[in-house]
Structure 1
């Protein structure tokens, strides 16, 4: 019985250490929100003009920075499209991913389920000092309250979203 308890304790300690390392990596790689970002007007590939303040006023917003050349983004993009289809509030920003037609092809025509902004030169990502793709920001009422970089599962994104809605 003590071996089982020790094994359980070891597993819990390992999980806590992994969580701490992941949190530290996110903290170190966290984007820096540019001043007045919530009022910046974004032009989507389907012709709409949006602001982060408007998008996040009533419902928590997930801002998803991705790139065509990012292998991990292929998996995360599918998750973000599914989440948008399920009612989550998602804004996708495609950094250095070609022209609007190339982005639509990359998304296999599913871009209409969520607003997509083309950032062909990476200027928006540079304003935020984003160096890692994909990067996910969670914005509530115009304020960035959480971010993560690199691969994140759909469950991980949903848990972060739930946490923000529960505690912020």
Structure 2
């Protein structure tokens, strides 16, 4: 390889690294500004699922990290994220989901059955819980360990991205 080709290749590599770093900085910034501001007592509030069970966030996050997935049936990005979250739950992941403004319990239960979801679903029918937690974007993923928020992200996330975040929270 002659010097011109090597120089050109090196310049492309350098520019590629710069673009990747800029993209990561933008993604981090967007997550930072869209992250919810959860009240200090958020994990002490038990929530009831559409299955009738009560879920205690503090207790669920005590032994291993808990993924709280805030989503909506009407959210276009959630259509791609929800199957990944459900797969995580299906494979034994510690997951609780909160459906934001997605109808009453009966309507939401029909939707969940139609999609064959196994993850626990809490219905935030009027948006009161998400408003209290200051969640304004769907989907929002919050990872809680020992009743403390360790990670939040918004928007689409892959199955492996969730698994990595959960693993990192447990380290």
Shared fold, TM over 0.5: yes
Distance 1:71 1:102 in 2: 18
Query: Does the 8 Å CA contact 2:140/2:154 hold for their aligned counterparts?
Result: yes
TM-score (norm 1): 0.92
**What are the within-5 Å matches in structure 2 for residues 129-144 of structure 1?**
129-144=134-149
SS in structure 1 at match of 2:97 = strand
Q: In structure 2, which of residues 47, 57, 62 is the aligned counterpart of residue 57 of structure 1?
A: 62
SS in structure 2 at match of 1:71 = coil
Q: In structure 2, which of residues 105, 121, 124 is the aligned counterpart of residue 119 of structure 1?
A: 124
Distance 1:70 1:96 in 2: 10
Segments of structure 2 that go 5 or more residues without pairing to the other structure are 1-5
TM-score (norm 2): 0.90
Distance 1:163 1:12 in 2: 25
Q: Is residue 44 of structure 2 the alignment partner of residue 39 of structure 1?
A: yes
Segments of structure 1 that go 5 or more residues without pairing to the other structure are none
The residue that corresponds to 1:69 in the other structure is 74
Q: Is residue 78 of structure 2 the alignment partner of residue 89 of structure 1?
A: no
Distance 1:73 1:32 in 2: 21
Length, aligned pairs only: 165
Q: In structure 2, which of residues 80, 85, 92 is the aligned counterpart of residue 80 of structure 1?
A: 85
Q: Is residue 14 of structure 2 the alignment partner of residue 9 of structure 1?
A: yes
The residue that corresponds to 2:116 in the other structure is 110
Root-mean-square deviation (CA), in Å? 1.4
Distance 2:83 2:109 in 1: 13
1:80 CA displacement: 0.6
Query: Does the 8 Å CA contact 1:81/1:110 hold for their aligned counterparts?
Result: no
1:82 CA displacement: 0.6
Distance 1:135 1:20 in 2: 19
